[in-house]
Amino acid sequence: MNTLYRLLTEDDTSAFCHKVSDALAKGWVLHGSPQYAYDHANGVMRCAQAVIKEVETPYSSDMKLGAQ
């Protein structure tokens, strides 16, 4: 088994919740707590959530993690 890691980021809107929910629906698991930071350049709050997934496929840097 191989563990894949993704860091999902988005402005603090429902789009972030949908992005995380989509990953969970595809078998990804939350890893750690969500993080929030103010993006001064764009004047918005940004969110981040790490997710992991165990897969049989050998890891490759060419993988499209969102498609896993």
* CATH code for the domain of 39: 3.30.70
Average pLDDT across the chain, whole number: 95
Residue with token string 């165990």: 54
Is 18 part of any domain? yes
Say if 67 falls within a structural domain. no
Enter the tokens of residue 51. Answer: 């997710």
CA–CA distance, 15 with 37 (Å, rounded to integer) = 16
Neighbours of 4 (CB within 10 A): 15
68, pLDDT greater than 90: no
Give the model's confidence band at 2: pLDDT under 50 very low, under 70 low, under 90 confident, else very high: very high
Taking 90 as the threshold, does the pLDDT of residue 67 lie above it?
no
Is residue 64 a part of any domain in this protein? no
Indicate whether this model's pTM tops 0.85: yes
What pLDDT does 49 receive? Answer: 98
In a domain, 30, yes or no: yes
Q: What is the mean pLDDT of residues 19-33?
A: 97
Q: Which domain holds residue 17?
A: 2-59
Q: How many domains does the chain have?
A: 1
Residue 65 inside a domain? The answer is no
